[in-house]
Amino acid sequence: MSNLNIITCLKIGETLYLPANSKDRIKEFREVYEHGLQLCMAYGLEEKALKVDSDFPNYHLFSKFNIGEKSFTVWDVDVILTTLLRKINIDAPFAIIENQSYWESPTTGFDFSFSCEFSDVICNTIQKALNYLILSSELTKDTILPSKVGINTIGIRAAYINPEGSSGIYCIPGRVYGEYIEPHTPFIPSLTDCSETLYDCFFGSRSDEVFSTNRDALNRIAESIYFQDINQTILTIFDAVDMLYPTTYDGNKLIKRIATFCCNTQTEKNMLVNQLKNLRENVRNPLLHSGKSIIDLQLKEDDVYTIINTINTIVIKYCENTYMLDIHTFQDLHEEEKSKNEFLLMGSN
């Protein structure tokens, strides 16, 4: 992750991101862990339950973003320390995730196909955690994106594994990404204005169909920003909108549902419905069904990014609002939509 410009450890979801040359700070991490371990033993706490706070030594090692429920735990520090003590030969920023159930050691010798799949699964899991940061800022043609995880300067992807019961870390080589262009401009995460609710939409503990569908749509949008063809980007973003109502092919029903959960008055809803219909009829449909391009539609690049940010804002608002309603099934979502529509109509009278 060569362009990830962080100076402190950052935890997003269950992924731990370490700044460059973290291996030079083993002593400081050990002091943090030993302090936490003493507290755990004194008060009978589990390492995963005790959060690292400003009373710990070397608290400056951890991002100010990680407070409250997002804080590092003593267990996290143990994982970091254990990894660094394995003398992993990485000078650039890197990430750590635990307990990846996909890993199953091949029974006979080296299996390159499995190795490639494993590297992709691990790196893509880490990549998805960064999608939260991508969608937390407005997107422009000059937006700097995080490096694609695990791809080195010659285009080979790799992950490292510390198998259970082993004292070593092993490199698992993956596929060659010959067309990938590594960004040379540092990606500096903007962590000050990030939405807590959007964070929950990505990393909440739920696994129901509404939560999973919304999270998949958010990930689809973030991943599309990496496409070199902006036509493909905007089509994929419209596809992410369609994902939000997977039980219908009716575009009008989709638009009305999104508008219902995004608006507080009937007037706002009507305006948003008209806006989404206009984008669907004059941008999405010609691109998708008529083989047009943004050039054919006489859209300038700035216009396209305005559309992208408009849709992103709408999708994020929809996902945040439905998350806060704690709706778990599409049937419950349908019932809540009817109730909200009745509320909006009553307010307009």
Domain boundary among 142, 176, 210: 176
| 105 Cβ contact list (under 8 Å, min separation 6) | 163
Dihedral (CA of 161, 163, 169, 170) sign? negative
pLDDT given for residue 283 in this prediction? 95
> Could you tell me if 216 and 342 lie in one domain?
yes
Could you tell me if residue 4 is inside a domain? Answer: no
> Could you tell me if 27 and 168 lie in one domain?
yes
> Could you tell me if 17 and 132 lie in one domain?
yes
> Could you tell me if 169 and 231 lie in one domain?
no
Could you tell me if residue 190 is inside a domain? Answer: no
Alpha-carbon distances of 339 from 52, 251, 344, rounded to whole Å: 43, 21, 9
Query: Considering all CA atoms of the chain, what is the largest pairwise distance in Å, rounded to the nearest integer?
Result: 73
> Could you tell me if 78 and 215 lie in one domain?
no
Cβ proximity of 215 and 158 under 8 Å: no
Residue 279 CA to residue 314 CA, distance in Å, equals 12
pLDDT given for residue 272 in this prediction? 96
| 25 Cβ contact list (under 8 Å, min separation 6) | 61, 84
Domain boundary among 176, 211, 230: 176
Tell me which residue range forms the domain holding 263.
196-348
Residue with tokens 């439905």: 322
> Could you tell me if 212 and 251 lie in one domain?
yes
pLDDT given for residue 151 in this prediction? 86
Could you tell me if residue 172 is inside a domain? Answer: yes
Could you tell me if residue 5 is inside a domain? Answer: no
Q: State both tokens at 129.
A: 């955690």
Helix (H, G, I), strand (E, B) or coil at 156: strand
For the entire predicted model, the pTM comes to 0.91
Identify the CA nearest to 199 among candidates 13, 10, 8.
Answer: 13
> Any bridge partners for residue 241, and if so which?
none
> Could you tell me if 172 and 203 lie in one domain?
no
Could you tell me if residue 186 is inside a domain? Answer: no
Residue 325 CA to residue 342 CA, distance in Å, equals 17
pLDDT given for residue 112 in this prediction? 73
Could you tell me if residue 162 is inside a domain? Answer: yes
Residue 108 CA to residue 100 CA, distance in Å, equals 21
> Could you tell me if 23 and 153 lie in one domain?
yes
pLDDT given for residue 107 in this prediction? 45
Supply the DSSP symbol for 180.
Answer: -
Could you tell me if residue 184 is inside a domain? Answer: no
> Could you tell me if 214 and 168 lie in one domain?
no
> Could you tell me if 149 and 203 lie in one domain?
no
> Could you tell me if 101 and 215 lie in one domain?
no
DSSP 55-115: TSTTGGGB-TT--GGG--BHHHHHHHHHHHHTT----S-EEE----TT----SSS--HHHH
Domain boundary among 147, 176, 205: 176
Could you tell me if residue 183 is inside a domain? Answer: no
Give me the tens of pLDDT residue by residue for the chain, a chain 349 residues long: 788 999 999 999 999 999 998 889 999 999 999 999 999 999 999 999 999 999 999 999 999 999 988 999 999 999 999 999 887 777 788 999 987 765 555 545 557 777 788 888 889 999 999 999 999 988 888 889 998 888 887 788 888 888 777 777 888 888 888 777 777 889 988 888 789 999 999 999 999 999 999 999 999 999 999 988 999 999 999 999 999 998 888 889 999 999 999 999 999 999 999 999 999 999 999 999 998 999 999 999 899 999 999 999 999 999 999 999 999 999 999 999 999 999 998 877 6
> Could you tell me if 204 and 334 lie in one domain?
yes
Query: Which stretch of DSSP H or E encloses residue 242?
Result: helix 230-243
β-strands 10-12, 94-96 pairing: unpaired
Q: How many domains does the chain have?
A: 2
